[in-house]
């Protein structure tokens, strides 16, 4: 598994692009912006399209935060393109506004430590990468468990707010709420403000 606070493994791979073309994605090209890199098991499956829709429906939230969304599965770029031609009401992912990366040789999933042996697919993993290419959050779910996009965006907000303020993110923090000064007095002030203790 990838270690937090380490550089995300770089890769260059083919991807199905939002305009229906095939293009090359180089993770290094995204330096200077945040990246949500998410792995899903397979095209033409069941939980996967619901997650792909969820990211698509929230793409403006990510773009407003200077964050690229990149999807990856062990399918070929041609399988991605075929699925992109199928409408949502038919179980497809037409209109997906971000690249879907082909990891046919499974090297990207292997490098990120999320490749299962049997079946040889990626777990439902997500990595939040900062503007310097450093992994700041990693979430891995089993194949049957879909992700919560509100939590992904909350973590992105927390990372950006922490970078801006120099403070840390308390439990259940939401964008616009005060962060926590990383000191004993900061904890005391936060506890008093939030009535954490009688």
Catalytic machinery residues = 48
Which residue shows structure tokens 């000191």? Answer: 183
The pairing of beta strand 12-16 with beta strand 22-26: antiparallel
Look up residue 49 and give its two tokens: 């399209």
The secondary element (H helix, E strand) that includes residue 14 is strand 12-16
Burial of 126 per CB tally in 10 Å (0-12, 13-18, 19+) = buried
How many other CB atoms sit within 10 Å of the CB of residue 103?
25
């Amino acid at each position: 598994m990838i270690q937090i606070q380490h550089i995300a493994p770089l890769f260059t791979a083919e991807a199905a692009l939002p305009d229906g073309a095939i293009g090359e994605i180089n993770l290094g090209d995204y330096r200077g912006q945040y990246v949500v890199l998410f792995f899903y098991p397979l095209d033409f499956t069941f939980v996967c399209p619901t997650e792909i829709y969820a990211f698509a429906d929230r793409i403006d939230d990510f773009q407003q935060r200077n964050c690229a969304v990149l999807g990856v599965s062990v399918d070929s770029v041609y399988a991605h393109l075929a699925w992109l031609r199928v409408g949502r009401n038919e179980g497809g992912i037409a209109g997906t506004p971000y690249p879907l990366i082909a990891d046919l040789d499974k090297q990207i999933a292997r490098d990120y430590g999320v490749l299962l042996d049997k079946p040889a697919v990626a777990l439902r993993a997500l990595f939040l990468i900062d503007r310097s290419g450093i992994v700041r959050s990693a979430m891995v779910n089993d194949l049957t468990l879909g992700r919560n996009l509100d939590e992904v965006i909350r973590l992105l907000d927390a990372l950006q707010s922490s970078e801006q303020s120099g403070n840390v993110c308390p439990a259940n923090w939401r964008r616009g709420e005060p962060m926590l000064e990383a000191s004993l007095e900061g904890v005391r002030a936060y506890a008093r403000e939030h009535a954490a203790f009688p």
